[in-house]
Each structure stands twice: as structure tokens, then as C-alpha cells.
Chain A
Amino acid sequence: MKTASSTLERELNSPKTQRRRKYRHLGDGLTRYGIATGGIGVIVAISLIFFYLLYEVFPLFQDAEIEESNHYSLQGEAAEGRTLRLVAEEQNEVFARITDSGQVHFIQVADGQSLGSHSLPLGADQTITSVSPGLPGDDILALGLNDGRVLLVEFSFGVEFDAQGERIGVRPEMTFPLGDETLILDPEGRPLQDVSRQVGRNGFILGGIVDQGEPLVLKLATRTNMITGQTQVTPQPAQLPARHAYQQLLFSEDHIYTYAVRTDGWMDVYNTRRLREPELMQQVRLVPDTQEVTAVRFQLGSDSLLIGDSQGRITQWMLARNSDGERELTAIRRLELGDHPIAAIEPEHRRKGLVAVDTQGRVGIYNTTAENKVIDAQLLEAAPQAVAISPRASMLLLQAADGSFVTFDVDNPHPEASAKALWGKVWYEGYDQPEYIWQSSGASNDYEPKFSITPLALGTLKAAFYAMLLSVPLAICGAMYTAYFMAPAVRKKVKPVIELMEALPTVILGFFAGLFLAPFFELHLPGIFALLVLMPLGLLAFGYAWSQLPDRIRFLVPDGWHVLLLFPVVMLIGWFSFAASQPLEVFFFDGDIRNWLTNDLGITYDQRNSIVVGFAMGFAVIPTIYSIAEDALFGVPKSLSHGSLALGATAWQTLVRVILPTASPGIFSAVMIGMGRAVGETMIVLMATGNTPIMNFNIFEGMRTLAANIAVEMGESAVDSSHYRILFLAALVLFGFTFVVNTLAELVRQRLRKKYSTL
């Protein structure tokens, strides 16, 4: 005995078994840590989705930043004269400075070194008295001279490469689009106090102010000869009535409207479609009574005006139709910058943004669409001599009152995003009132992107609503019958069939809805409404008829098998409704229900509409709701129903008064999960609707949902652009919504399970 145990002991402690034990122990530890790492890794990877979406969305709501990068005074020749205008270029390497003595200096941004000075082709006694503000996106300036003449000059900055393809730097160039001859704007030769210009499809238009605010207009129709390449200019002078003293003229891009800013804070709007007979459309007070207009610029696209006043406010004005349908200059929004007069406004070149500087050197950077002030900083002590913003809006160039130059790096990637722009009503350029619009991209650079998520969110809810309208009654009623009345043998077959619906790819439902249901419903519209009425009536009629049959027939079908009788009935009613559709159409709607809807009721009808979506998506959601609700109902302990039945309640009373209330949390969670599925469904909506973002609940029109919108636009949005990030935001909203809804539903279900186990 003793020997045996000691042999065992020896064997257990032999080096071989010890090694083996160690090895097993090691294996155990390795598995433990391996699985822990893997498991935690997977969980981290899954949660990465949420954090990555957040990470992509976050920059939208980050503040813009501005930081001083250089500060210097110019040296030598480049420092001479008074700055009339600064022109910055895209690479932020060079800027041009135009002085009143007719010199153009190209200066390196980094250190203020001069890259060359050029004299403009002016006569000995000619000096520059005014410079037109550039238009965002092109660098053609009109220079007004002291003898009533105008010179047009264009700056271009190209990046230069050497023979090996290495980058050398930016090469500035100055050209004269209409030749280096000056043009006569004022035949009387008075100095131009202000000059402005607009470029249009067939030439330029120039405006100037002389003397005591007398306005002058000159239209230059240019025609380029295709063969010689020479440009022929035909000047057409025009006269605005000098009713008041003006300080500035502005022309719309199509040359139809002329905005004349008066010195007394009013504006006269002229219709100059016929240049020789300008027609006064409107006189409007731009600023409150005691205030003055201190700065006027076009916003990018020349559709709206930015007016700065002496109280530190910038107002955006635009021609919009009033309630009488007439075009009227209307203030569409107001931006605030301190209490001091606005000294300068510079619109951004590629976005609907602007920089404003007041007389105290306070600088504000705004986005007009989003009504967003992204930067408000005291950058200088006094009004600047000149302001320029680079085309990419990444650099701000200021010349301080003391003549020194300060440059700032601006990091302002997403000014378009603000809570108001994303969710609120916005008054967009070209619209007559504030609206909710999603229209993310347009043809040209000066397009105002419209990023209102509201119509998409509403479309999502609309689609989900119509889907729930079909699926909730069908799924819950079906679940009640299956769980409580159906024979187990039938239940075993029916449940998998309905659950098979869940496995059907939604692309198939979507294609079926778009290619089959949409045209079918269009042709049989009255049939659908007939079906809605006839189906319940027909079922009830059949039920009553069945109850009137002699027992000998009724007893042929055992309890819980009655549903089988209904299959042919349902088919028959369905067939009858659609067969009766066209006679109904002829009888009630004169043979064309679409016509009737449009003409008599004024309802728009799309072929791919909410009925189709509701039907297809309802179909997709039925199994989800049905399956969970059925589980909840079936799980109600039998003792409850037996007790109720024993007390004399009918089966229906037991179901409604006992089982339904007990299982109601489960049914609620089933509906929630179904809702979550309907909200996030992409393919069905994409294929079964026209994907138009609209703001109504009309059942005969379609919608555009968040998910479908992502599917349509994600591929074409530029990486890291505002559009891209807003699509990520849409994904995050979907993620958050479904996650919260599902979690709630899951918690409710868990509590219910606990409750059942105690009953």
C-alpha cells in the first residue's frame, strides 16, 4: 500500500510529469491570455466604429484657429507709397501690393522681401485715385485715375517647375486684359473717387463716382476674334440719374441690376437691363437712422451684398421676391462684430465666407450660410490700411496703420457647419424665404452648398412611419394569433416561413418594390384602397359565415387550424380588389385617378412613392416585430391564462386583459427594434423612392432618407471636406439612434424575462 502510493507520488513528481505539468500550465495561461487579448481586441475593434465616426465628425464643430505667422515692415522701394490694394495668391507665398503712385510690388509672404516692382503704364501726371474691390475668384482690378480714366489689370500666380520637375516657386504675372491703354470713364476728366467693375458673359461693366457723388457707368462689350485672337472692345457709356450723392456702384453678374450706394445710408436699386434707360426699382435704407454705410462688398457669386455699418454690424442683402411676387432688396441676415464701425469687408474666394475688420483692429471671420462667426479676435490696434485673404482662405494679410504687414495663418476648414445650418431653416441665396434644403453640391465654385439634415431626417421618419403603419398591425396581430390560438403543428411551419422573410436581402425587396410594385400600384391605385377596406371586411364576413355553418362541417377543422382556411380567402380578396381596381377608377375617378389627384386635389403623385416604400419596408420589418412579439407573448406563463380561463373569461378576454398587458413591454421592444430597422434601411428606400429630399408627409410622394443619402453621395464627396464629414454625421446620427433604441428595447426585454421567471 505504502509502496504503491509512494510510487504514485514518485511518478507524479518525476521530471517528466513535472515538465508535462509545467507545459500544461503554460498552455492554460497562454490560452487565457490569448483569448482575453483576442476577445478584448474584438470588443475594442467594434467600439472603434463609434469612436471613428466621432473622430471624423468632431472637426465640424471645432473652432477655427488664427495665428500670427509673420510681422514685418517693407524695406526700400517696396515700402514707398500708400497701399491701395493687396492681392494674395493660393500658395500663400507671394502677394502683390498696388500703390497710389502706380507701382505694383510683388512681395514674399514669409519675410517681406521684394520679388520685383513694376510700374503700371500710366502717364507722367496720372495717379491712381481708387481701386475697385476684386471679385472673389478672379484677380482683375479696375484702377481709377485722377483724369477720369480707368485701367484694367489682372494678376495671375502660377507655380513654376524646373526641367526636372522640381518646384521652384510661385511666379507672379501682371497682364492687361483690355490692353495697356487706359479707358475713358469720365469724359470730363475728373478724378475717380471710386471705381467698380463686374465681369459678365459678354464683357465688363465699369462704374465710377466723380465730383460730389455723381455716378458714371461704362459697359464694355468685348469680342474676341477667333482667327487673330485679338479682342475688340466696344464701349457703351451710360448715365444713371444723379439724384443723390453716391459713394459706390455695384453691378449684378448679369448686368441687370445696379446697386447704387448713397452717402446718406440709402441704396438705390436700378434695373439696367436697358442701360440707356435705367429704371429705379427700389430705394432702401441700409442702416438704422443714425448710422452710416462704411463698407460694401459682393458676397461670392455676386448674388448678395455685404454691408458694413458704423455700429459694427454686417448685413447681407439680396433681391428676393416679396409676397406680391416682386423682387425687392431684403436683409436676409445680420452678423455682429463689436460696436465700432466696420473698416473693411473681404469675402472669401471659394466659400460663402467673409472677413470683417473694424476701426479698432478687431477681426471677425464669418460664414454667411451657416450664420457662423468662426473667429473673433483683436488682431490690430487700429483700422488696417489694407486687408487681403488668400484664395484658399488659409491666410489673412493685414497692413497695420503704421504701415507694417502682419500675416495670419487661418485654420478654418468647416465654417459651413453650425447647428442652424444643419438643422434649422436657412435663407439661401436665390430663395424667397428661409427653407430646409439639402443640396450638397452644385456645378460651379460659387455654389452655396445647402446642408440641412432636417429634410433627410424627416424623410427617414416618413419612410419608417409608413413602414410601421403596415407592419405593426400585421406583425402584432399575427404574433397574437400564432402565440395563443394557433395549433403547435401549424405554428412550427408558419413561424419559420415568416422568419425567412427576415433573411431575404433587402436589395431584392427594393428591386421588387421599384420595378414591380411601383408600376403595378400606379396602374391599380384604387385597388389598394379597396384592399384596405375589403380585406378586414372580407375576413370578418368569412368568419361569421363559418360560424353559421353546421357543426358537422365546422368540427372538421380542429382548433388552431383555422388560419389555413384563410389562405384562399386572402388570395381571393387580393385578386378581387385589384381586378375591381379599374372599374372603380372608371366609376369614381373618370378613368384616371392620377389626373383626379393632381387636378382636383392638387396632390403630386410620384410613381415611386411612400405607399411603395411603406409596403416594401413594412414587409422587411414584419418578421422582426413578429418574431420578438411572438416570443414575448408565448413566454407568458401558462398559469396566468389558465387561471383567467378557469374564472370564465373567453379566450379573447384572456388574451386582451391578461396576456397582452403582461407581454406589453416585450411588444413595445419589438416595435422599437422594428423601428430601428426601418430607420436604417438603405436599399429599399434607395430603389423604391425617387430620393428627392422633400419636407412633407404626402403618401403619394417619395422621400430621401439619411441612409439612402449616404449611399448616394458618399462616393462622390471629397475626403475630409465638410460634405464628407456631414455624411459621417448622418451615419453617426443613424448609429446613435438605432443603438439607443435597441438598447432600450433590450433592457425592457431583460426586465420582462426576469418578471416571467418570478411568475
Chain B
Amino acid sequence: MRISFKDWVKSGSPWIWLNAGAVAISVMLVLGLVAIIAVRGLAHFWPAELQESLATDLQGQQRMQLGEVVEVEQVTAEQLRGAGYEVHADSDFLNRQLMKVGNRDIYGFDFRWVLQRDLQDISYPPYAVAMERREWGNFYGYLLGITENGELLGEQERGENHLWEEAQKRIDRAVDIYWEIHALEKQDIGAINYELEQLRLEERRLELEGEDTPENLARLEAERQKWDQEYQALLQRLNALNEDFSRDSFLMETTDGYKLEIGLEEVVRAYQPNNMNLFQQIGHYFDKVWEFVSEDPREANTEGGIFPAIFGTVLMVLIMSVIVTPFGVMAAVYLREYAKQGFLTRTIRIAVNNLAGVPSIVYGVFGLGFFVYFVGGNLDEIFYPEALPAPTFGTPGLMWASLTLALLTLPVVIVATEEGLSRIPRSVREGSLALGATKAETLWRVVLPMASPAMMTGVILAVARAAGEVAPLMLVGVVKLAPNLPLDGNAPFLHLDRQFMHLGFHIYDVGFQSPNVEAARPLVYATALMLVAVIASLNLAAIAIRNRLREKFRALDM
């Protein structure tokens, strides 16, 4: 049965379709966002092909270029004319591509926009090498030779590849030495430095307390000597390793003919993306993913991994949940079970509820003023006078960040727990009391176990919220690059006064404060994906736990 347009409008269907459209748009927005982040974040680790071509620049000069094609976009001819390009009058659109050409030490930049019409002789040479370095970003070019202690071991022309296997072996060796040096510096020497700093503080403490007697000072001096000796021994080992480390180097050539020598101490890995089969590509992919989640960042956070940020986020959230759970539950139990239900309780309940809507930056301001400057400043004066004027707790740090976020998420836990408590039927409580249990016993044995799913949900939601919060953390303890993890092998192991790195802040910092945003962009997407995954799974876990435990107690819901 066809209906006329007039009847169709009269029936209200157009409006219903528009409403349905709103739902569809909202859902598409969420899915689209997650999809874009996922695609861009995951694609970064795939070994991109290296494109070689002869490019003509604005001045009409021609040179070879080699690099990854990052993106291609269409622009109008008019905009290009505005930028100084000569564009034929009847072409309206042109494609331009962003090339990652690397070799920042040689070119001064690693990215370059080129018009596709300016490229000739495009090819994908199989033996082009992409080399990740500890400094100056990636190198793209060709391997010409290998030297050991300055002596040339082998040479090859462009288009030959017999040195490649040997080169890989030598890179593996250098990387092994790198980790040995890393362990030595971070753990052994780091521990000695920490001990020496503790000795310095102790000396100052003795001085402040007026107990800097010669015996005490001599004891400290003896200890210092001991550490110094150990340090010297380690230093010798370190020097030997360092010498070994810089034994080999490669002779490389860029595509436009610039030759240079790259020491292997600079090389993280080298690969020939155009010469890889599928398995090698997959292997490379997981290698890079593992590096991303397990290693420290390099090059002002634009390369390497995000392990310290993951670690900092998790640790902060853990400490926060340890604080927020008992207090949140206690407040909820008080409000629901003990406080007299009246106007005041109702007001408090609304107020607590609304605190969840107070902007998080306000909590940050409070945390900075109250915790850091007021409480921390006073703690320093009482307990750490020896370190002054360098603050110990009077500066942003892990403890204050956790406390601030605990305060921020307190309403979430209180509201969720209260809701759970209110769901427990009166009859259950009355039954327990009628059997002679005291109120406390009823609470401990009956009410709280039954409310545990709600508490759990509250805590998980609190954790999910805290993990994604950045604004308050910027004020109370997060830094772009922390020299040490807040948890290490030096007593007291957990350093609550240290500043830490955080996934959310990492995104902000790398994406917006980094000197080389273009290079950092893929990493930002990957980090964002990581954060979305963590938070989405926490939320899903909360929902799952709630449903499961609700099933369990369903029989009681009468």
C-alpha cells in the first residue's frame, strides 16, 4: 500500500526517521572514533614499504628521495597556487603525499609533502634499508659496507645484498651489549647513586640535629668510601663494555648519494621492508608491538615504548583504589545504615552525588593547593628537614596524585555502594536481627557481602575514571619524562614522593608539546588505543561483574 507524501508527513514518520537518524549518528560516531584510532594505532607497527622516486621541488630542482608514504590527500589547485606552485589552469584537484624521508641528521627534517605529479620513476627497491636509530630518527638508504675497529670488512654496491646477514648478526650483538650497559647503569650504578644521596641526607640530618660528631661523620665517610670503590669497579666494567659496544659501524648511503658511517651503538634495528615476506612482516609487527609496551621512550617520547607510562598509570590507580575503597564504602554504609534518614542525609546524598559532576580540574587545583603545598610543605618541614630547600613531599608526586584522584572518584564509589545497599530487601536485615545478631554482625555477615557486587562495580568504575583523567594530574604529579620508576629495588621500594608518567598525559604531551608532532603522531594513536582498550575493558568488567553477582542474589530480590 503506497501512501501519499502528505499522509506520510501527517503521520509523523519524518520525525521518527530523524530521531532514528540521531541514534544512528551517535552510534556511528562512537564506532567511527574507535575504528579510526584502532586502524591508525595498529597500522603504525607494520613495516611500511619504502618508495624511491625522482622528485622535482618548487625551484625545479630534481633529486632522488626514498621514504615511507604516510598519507595521501587531495587538495584544490587554488590552494596550491596560493602556496606558490604552478598549476595548470584546467586542473582543479591534485594529490599530494606526505613522505617520511627520515635522515634528520642530514636533511634537517624527516617529513616532506610532495605533489604526486612531481614524482617520476617510482620504484620500490628491494634492498633499501630502514634503520631505527637511538638518535636522529630513522635512516633510509643503502648498506655499502661494514667496518670493525675502523677496518673495512666488506663492501657492496647498491643492488647487492650479500652483507645483509652479517650486518644483522652484528646489530644483534650490539643490541645485546646495549642491554647489558643499560642494566648496569640503571640498576647497579643507580643503586649506588641512591645510597650516596641517602648518605648526604643523613649527614645533613646529623648536622641539623647537632649530632655531627667526628665518630658519626667518620662512619658516614667510611660508608661513602665503600660505595665509591664499588662505583669505580663498575665504572671500569662499563668502560670496557662501551668500548666493545662501538666496535662496529656501517657504511651507508642515502638515495641521493650522501655517504656516511653509522656506528652500531646508535642502531636499534635495521630491516629491508621491501624485501620481507609475510611471516617476516608479522614477526616485525609483533616485535614492534612488544617494544611499544615494554620499553622506555626514546627521542623526546616520539619513539620507543610507553612502558613507564603504563606502569605509572597502573600504580597510581592501584594506590588510589586502596585509598578510595574503604573510605567510600564506609561513607556509604554510614549514610544508608547508620545516619538518621532525614533532610540532612538527603542533602548530603545529593551533594555527594553532584560532586561527581564537579570539573576534575577543580580537584586538581585543590590537590595542588592543599595536598602539595599545604600538607606536603608541612610534612617536609617536620620529617625531611635535611633535604630542604629541595622539597620531598612538598612537590607534585605519586602520593598526591593518588589522593587527589581518590577524592575525585569517592562520589562514584559512594553512589554505587549506596545503590547496592538500597537494593537489599529489608526482610533480609530484619531476619538477621530477629535471629539475635547485633547490627554490626548483620552488617558484616549479611549486608556487606550482599552489597559486594555494587562495591566492586563502584571501584571498577572509579578505576576506569581515574585511569582516563589527565587534567588534575597535570597539576599534582605527572611529568613528561620521569627518570626513575616510582617502584624500584632501593629501599623503601615504593617511592611515593616521585613524579611519574601517565598514559593520558603522555598522549597530551607527545601530541601537543612535542617538537616533532608529525613523527610522534602514530605513537599517539597507539597510546590512545592502549588507553581506550584498558578503559573499555575495565568498564565491560564492571558490567559483567555486576550482572554475575546480581544473578547470584536474584533469589533474594522479592
A interface vs B, CB < 8 Å? 24-25, 27-28, 30-32, 35-36, 38-43, 45-49, 52-53, 56, 473-478, 480-482, 485-486, 494, 496-498, 500-501, 503-512, 514-516, 523, 535-536, 539-540, 542-544, 547-548, 551, 562-563, 566-567, 569-571, 574, 582-583, 585-586, 590-592, 595, 619, 622, 626, 650-653, 655-656, 673, 676-677, 679-683, 686-687, 707, 710-711, 714-715, 719, 727-728, 731, 734-735, 738-739, 741-743, 746-747, 750
Contact = CB atoms under 8 A, between A and B. Distances in A.
Interface in B457-479: 464-465, 467-471, 474-475
Nearest to A499: B539
Nearest to B502: A507
A54 to B, nearest CB: 11
B322 interface: no
Contacts of B539: 500, 503
Contacts of A650: 11-12
Contacts of B20: 481, 485, 539, 562-563, 566
Given A563-B24, A592-B82, A683 B470 contact: yes
Contact of A505 (B333, B355, B369, B531): B531
B26 A622 contact: yes
A42 B330 contact: yes
A687 to B, nearest CB: 6
B77 A539 contact: no
B27 A28 contact: no
Contacts of A592: 76, 78-79, 82
Nearest to A536: B18
B365 A731 contact: yes
Which 5 interchain pairs have the tightest Cβ spacing?
A39-B334, A680-B359, A652-B12, A591-B78, A505-B468
B366 interface: yes
Contacts of B79: 591-592
B19 interface: yes
A539 B17 CA distance: 7
Given A539-B20, A569-B24, 7 more contacts: A503-B468, A539-B17, A551-B1, A569-B21, A591-B77, A739-B357, A743-B351
Nearest to A626: B26
A624 B36 CA distance: 23
B13 A543 contact: yes
A582 B93 contact: yes
Contacts of A56: 369
Nearest to B1: A551
A626 B29 CA distance: 14
B508 A590 contact: no
A646 B95 CA distance: 61
B23 A508 contact: no
A653 B407 contact: no
B23 A52 contact: no
8 contacts: A39-B333, A47-B351, A504-B468, A509-B33, A539-B18, A570-B25, A583-B92, A592-B78
Interface in B437-486: 438-441, 443-444, 464-465, 467-471, 474-475
B361 A711 contact: yes
A711 B8 contact: no
B370 A52 contact: yes
Contacts of B475: 711, 714-715
B352 interface: yes
Contact of B334 (A35, A486, A590, A715): A35
Contact of A504 (B74, B357, B532): B532
A38 B3 contact: no
Nearest to B8: A547
B491 to A, nearest CB: 31
A165 B540 CA distance: 63
A167 B2 CA distance: 99
A70 to B, nearest CB: 32
Interface of B: 1-3, 5, 8, 11-31, 33, 36-37, 73-79, 82, 92-93, 326-328, 330-335, 337-339, 348, 350-355, 357-366, 368-370, 373, 407, 410-411, 414, 438-441, 443-444, 464-465, 467-471, 474-475, 504-505, 507-508, 511-512, 517, 521, 524, 528, 531-532, 535-536, 539, 543
Contacts of A673: 357
A582 B92 CA distance: 9
Nearest to B374: A52
B439 to A, nearest CB: 6
A498 B536 contact: no
A507 B23 contact: no
Nearest to B11: A650
A542 B78 CA distance: 36
Looking at A42, A501, A739, which has the most chain B CB atoms within 10 Å of its CB?
A42
Nearest to B528: A508
Given A680-B361, A682-B359, A710-B361, A511 B8 contact: no
A714 B472 CA distance: 11
Contact of B22 (A478, A655, A727): A478
Interface core residue of B1, B27, B411 (most chain A CB under 10 Å):
B27
Contacts of A574: 28
A711 B407 contact: no
Given A505-B468, A563-B20, A43 B348 contact: yes
B366 A49 contact: yes
Nearest to B328: A42
Contacts of A475: 22, 26
Contacts of A504: 33, 468, 532, 535
Contact of B508 (A511, A516, A539): A511
A39 B443 CA distance: 15
A80 B162 CA distance: 99
A261 B512 CA distance: 53
A651 B16 contact: yes
Contact of A497 (B30, B327, B528): B30
A503 B22 contact: no
A503 B464 CA distance: 7
Contacts of B77: 586, 591
Interface-centre pick from B358, B439, B465 (highest chain A CB count, 10 A): B358
Residue of B77, B92, B330, B439 with most chain A CB atoms under a 10 A cut-off: B330
A544 B9 CA distance: 9
B372 to A, nearest CB: 10
A360 B5 CA distance: 89
A698 B360 CA distance: 27
B11 A53 contact: no
A365 B524 CA distance: 53
Given A28-B438, A35-B330, A523-B73, A481 B30 contact: no
Contacts of B351: 46-47, 739, 743
Contacts of B33: 504, 509, 512, 619
A36 B536 CA distance: 35
Contact of B511 (A567, A687, A710): A687
A31 B535 contact: no
Given A35-B330, A498-B30, A505-B468, A540 B18 contact: yes
Contacts of B1: 551
A500 B77 CA distance: 42
Nearest to B396: A715
Most chain A C-beta atoms within 10 Å of own C-beta, residue among B11, B26, B76, B470 = B26
A650 B3 CA distance: 16
A540 B28 CA distance: 18
A485 B93 CA distance: 45
Contacts of A52: 366, 369-370
Nearest to B337: A35
B334 A496 contact: no
A536 B474 CA distance: 41
A590 B17 contact: no
B358 A738 contact: yes
A478 B19 contact: yes
Given A56-B369, A592-B78, A738-B358, A498 B26 contact: yes
B532 to A, nearest CB: 6
Contact of A535 (B25, B352, B362, B438): B25
Contacts of A48: 370
